């Protein structure tokens, strides 16, 4: 049977359980004709960390559904939650490393210490 995006990302009991465990709350239910428009409206009213969690969660759910469909591999709710939380932590750690690297580069430039100076890539 053909699954709709609406079902995979909001109506499916598996999805609902994951969203509940992550405390993902939407401002409204999808009453839009387009799931994409509804989601875009939800994103507009959220901070960057919340949006990052949603993107990772929806990606993990999509990946989980693809594993079921293409490989017959079923992952339980706990497994998907562990993946989402670990990925969030990894991204947060990368952000910290990136900030530290930029601070060191700026300090090296300020002190004109070539050993600390790293040419930064454009942002």
* Burial of 15 per CB tally in 10 Å (0-12, 13-18, 19+): buried
The residue among 102 and 56 whose pLDDT is bigger is: 56
- The angle formed by the CA atoms of residues 81, 87 and 90, to the nearest 5 degrees, is 140
Helices (H), the chain: 5-6, 13-21, 35-44, 48-66, 77-111
| DSSP secondary structure letters along 22-36 | TT---SS---SS-HH
> How many Å is the maximal CA-CA distance in the chain?
65
- Predicted structure pTM score: 0.68
Of the listed ranges 7-16, 41-50, 67-76, the least confidently predicted one is 7-16
pLDDT, the chain, mean: 80
pLDDT of residue 30: 60
pLDDT of residue 79: 94
- Residue range 76-92, pLDDT digits in tens: 999 999 999 999 999 88
- Residue range 21-44, pLDDT digits in tens: 998 877 556 665 677 787 788 888
């Amino acid at each position: 049977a053909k699954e709709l995006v609406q079902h995979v990302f909001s109506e499916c009991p598996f999805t609902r359980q994951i969203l509940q465990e992550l405390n993902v709350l939407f401002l409204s239910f999808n009453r839009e004709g387009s799931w994409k428009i509804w989601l875009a409206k939800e994103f507009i009213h959220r901070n960057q960390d919340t949006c990052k969690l949603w993107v990772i969660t929806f990606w993990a759910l999509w990946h989980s559904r693809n594993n079921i469909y293409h490989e017959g591999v079923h992952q339980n709710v706990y497994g998907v939650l562990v993946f989402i939380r670990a990925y969030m932590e990894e991204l947060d750690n990368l952000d910290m490393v990136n900030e530290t690297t930029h601070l060191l580069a700026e300090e090296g430039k300020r002190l004109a210490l070539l050993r600390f100076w790293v040419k930064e890539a454009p942002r």
